[in-house]
Amino acid sequence: MEQLGLSMNSGYSPAATHHRKAESQPAVAPRGNVTEVIMPPGQVENFQLLLPMLTQLNRERRWLAWIDPPQELVSKWQTLHGIVAGEILMLRSTRDYSALELAERALSAGTCHAVVMWTSRLSSRDFGALEQASARGDSHGVILRTR
Protein backbone atom coordinates (compact mmCIF):
# COMPACT_ATOMS: atom_id res chain seq x y z
CA MET A 1 0.00 0.00 0.00
CA GLU A 2 2.87 2.36 0.67
CA GLN A 3 4.05 1.90 -2.92
CA LEU A 4 0.69 3.16 -4.14
CA GLY A 5 0.86 6.26 -1.97
CA LEU A 6 -1.70 4.89 0.49
CA SER A 7 -1.14 4.52 4.20
CA MET A 8 -3.01 3.27 7.24
CA ASN A 9 -2.54 4.51 10.78
CA SER A 10 -2.45 1.10 12.47
CA GLY A 11 1.06 0.96 13.90
CA TYR A 12 1.86 -1.82 11.43
CA SER A 13 4.91 -1.27 9.24
CA PRO A 14 4.62 -3.23 5.99
CA ALA A 15 8.09 -2.08 4.91
CA ALA A 16 9.77 -3.59 7.98
CA THR A 17 7.88 -6.88 7.62
CA HIS A 18 8.64 -7.05 3.90
CA HIS A 19 12.35 -6.49 4.61
CA ARG A 20 12.47 -9.44 7.05
CA LYS A 21 10.63 -11.69 4.58
CA ALA A 22 12.95 -10.74 1.74
CA GLU A 23 15.97 -11.74 3.83
CA SER A 24 14.56 -15.17 4.64
CA GLN A 25 13.21 -16.13 1.20
CA PRO A 26 15.28 -16.88 -1.89
CA ALA A 27 14.85 -14.53 -4.83
CA VAL A 28 12.41 -15.74 -7.47
CA ALA A 29 13.67 -15.70 -11.04
CA PRO A 30 11.60 -13.49 -13.33
CA ARG A 31 9.17 -15.37 -15.57
CA GLY A 32 9.18 -14.81 -19.27
CA ASN A 33 6.21 -13.99 -21.39
CA VAL A 34 5.49 -16.93 -23.70
CA THR A 35 2.07 -17.81 -25.07
CA GLU A 36 1.27 -21.10 -26.76
CA VAL A 37 -1.60 -21.23 -29.24
CA ILE A 38 -2.80 -24.69 -30.27
CA MET A 39 -4.86 -24.82 -33.46
CA PRO A 40 -6.72 -27.54 -35.35
CA PRO A 41 -4.75 -29.20 -38.16
CA GLY A 42 -4.84 -27.26 -41.42
CA GLN A 43 -5.67 -23.94 -39.76
CA VAL A 44 -2.20 -22.63 -38.94
CA GLU A 45 -2.76 -19.61 -41.21
CA ASN A 46 -6.21 -18.89 -39.84
CA PHE A 47 -5.68 -17.21 -36.50
CA GLN A 48 -7.12 -13.73 -36.71
CA LEU A 49 -6.85 -13.18 -32.95
CA LEU A 50 -3.06 -12.75 -33.16
CA LEU A 51 -3.01 -10.14 -35.90
CA PRO A 52 -3.90 -7.13 -33.70
CA MET A 53 -1.36 -8.21 -31.08
CA LEU A 54 1.44 -8.63 -33.62
CA THR A 55 0.61 -5.34 -35.28
CA GLN A 56 0.74 -3.59 -31.89
CA LEU A 57 3.99 -5.29 -30.90
CA ASN A 58 5.48 -4.28 -34.24
CA ARG A 59 5.18 -0.61 -33.18
CA GLU A 60 8.02 -1.11 -30.71
CA ARG A 61 11.37 -0.31 -32.29
CA ARG A 62 12.80 -3.81 -32.09
CA TRP A 63 12.65 -6.73 -34.49
CA LEU A 64 9.70 -9.08 -34.87
CA ALA A 65 11.18 -12.55 -35.45
CA TRP A 66 9.24 -15.24 -37.30
CA ILE A 67 10.63 -18.74 -37.07
CA ASP A 68 9.52 -21.27 -39.69
CA PRO A 69 6.29 -19.52 -40.77
CA PRO A 70 4.26 -20.97 -43.65
CA GLN A 71 5.44 -19.12 -46.76
CA GLU A 72 1.95 -18.19 -47.99
CA LEU A 73 1.27 -16.54 -44.66
CA VAL A 74 4.26 -14.20 -44.83
CA SER A 75 3.10 -12.30 -47.92
CA LYS A 76 -0.50 -12.16 -46.72
CA TRP A 77 0.37 -10.63 -43.34
CA GLN A 78 2.79 -8.08 -44.68
CA THR A 79 0.32 -6.85 -47.26
CA LEU A 80 -2.94 -6.92 -45.33
CA HIS A 81 -2.18 -6.18 -41.72
CA GLY A 82 0.22 -3.27 -41.47
CA ILE A 83 3.20 -5.19 -40.21
CA VAL A 84 6.38 -3.33 -41.14
CA ALA A 85 8.30 -5.73 -43.41
CA GLY A 86 11.62 -3.97 -42.80
CA GLU A 87 11.44 -4.88 -39.11
CA ILE A 88 10.66 -8.58 -39.54
CA LEU A 89 13.47 -11.04 -39.02
CA MET A 90 12.63 -14.26 -40.89
CA LEU A 91 14.47 -17.33 -39.55
CA ARG A 92 14.35 -20.87 -40.92
CA SER A 93 15.48 -23.91 -38.98
CA THR A 94 18.21 -26.15 -40.42
CA ARG A 95 20.03 -29.31 -39.41
CA ASP A 96 22.49 -27.11 -37.51
CA TYR A 97 19.91 -24.88 -35.77
CA SER A 98 16.52 -26.15 -34.65
CA ALA A 99 13.51 -23.85 -34.43
CA LEU A 100 13.76 -24.09 -30.63
CA GLU A 101 17.41 -22.96 -30.64
CA LEU A 102 16.60 -20.06 -32.96
CA ALA A 103 13.69 -19.02 -30.73
CA GLU A 104 15.82 -19.16 -27.57
CA ARG A 105 18.54 -17.05 -29.15
CA ALA A 106 16.10 -14.49 -30.56
CA LEU A 107 14.20 -14.20 -27.27
CA SER A 108 17.26 -13.85 -25.07
CA ALA A 109 19.16 -11.40 -27.31
CA GLY A 110 16.94 -8.46 -26.38
CA THR A 111 16.81 -7.20 -29.97
CA CYS A 112 13.37 -8.71 -30.71
CA HIS A 113 10.20 -7.44 -29.08
CA ALA A 114 8.42 -10.62 -30.12
CA VAL A 115 9.38 -14.02 -31.47
CA VAL A 116 6.71 -16.09 -33.22
CA MET A 117 7.58 -19.75 -33.78
CA TRP A 118 5.62 -22.30 -35.76
CA THR A 119 6.21 -25.87 -34.59
CA SER A 120 4.49 -29.25 -34.49
CA ARG A 121 5.49 -30.10 -30.91
CA LEU A 122 6.90 -28.52 -27.79
CA SER A 123 7.73 -30.24 -24.51
CA SER A 124 7.23 -28.68 -21.08
CA ARG A 125 10.99 -28.49 -20.73
CA ASP A 126 11.30 -26.63 -24.05
CA PHE A 127 8.52 -24.25 -23.01
CA GLY A 128 10.38 -23.51 -19.77
CA ALA A 129 13.59 -22.80 -21.69
CA LEU A 130 11.70 -20.33 -23.90
CA GLU A 131 10.24 -18.62 -20.81
CA GLN A 132 13.72 -18.18 -19.36
CA ALA A 133 15.03 -16.79 -22.65
CA SER A 134 12.06 -14.41 -22.81
CA ALA A 135 12.84 -13.11 -19.32
CA ARG A 136 16.52 -12.58 -20.16
CA GLY A 137 15.75 -10.58 -23.32
CA ASP A 138 12.57 -8.83 -22.14
CA SER A 139 10.82 -10.26 -25.22
CA HIS A 140 7.44 -11.85 -25.91
CA GLY A 141 7.25 -15.38 -27.29
CA VAL A 142 4.33 -16.79 -29.25
CA ILE A 143 4.34 -20.48 -30.09
CA LEU A 144 1.90 -21.65 -32.76
CA ARG A 145 1.32 -25.36 -33.19
CA THR A 146 -1.32 -27.79 -34.32
CA ARG A 147 -2.99 -30.44 -32.20
Sheet holding 63-67, edge to edge: 33-39, 140-146, 112-119, 63-67, 88-91
Whole-angstrom distance, CA of residue 9 vs CA of residue 25: 28
Confidence of residue 131 (pLDDT cuts 50, 70, 90): very high
pTM attached to this predicted model: 0.71
Residue 126's nearest CA partner among 112, 147, 107 is: 107
Residue 73 has pLDDT above 70, yes or no: yes
pLDDT (0 to 100) of residue 17: 45
Domain ranges for the chain: 31-146
**Residue 94 pLDDT class (50, 70, 90 cuts):** very high
Give me the amino acid identity at 126.
Answer: D
pLDDT at 143 (0 to 100): 93
Average pLDDT over residues 48-70: 76
User: Which position has the higher pLDDT, 32 or 55?
Assistant: 32
List pLDDT tens digits, range 25-54: 556 566 789 998 888 777 666 656 666 777
Of 141, 73, 143, 59, nearest to 107 by C-alpha is: 141
Q: Of 26-30, 54-58, 118-122, which range is least confident?
A: 26-30
* Maximum distance among all Cα pairs of the chain, rounded to whole angstroms: 65
| Superfamily of segment(s) 31-146 | P-loop containing nucleotide triphosphate hydrolases (3.40.50.300)
CA–CA separation, 104 and 136 (whole Å): 10
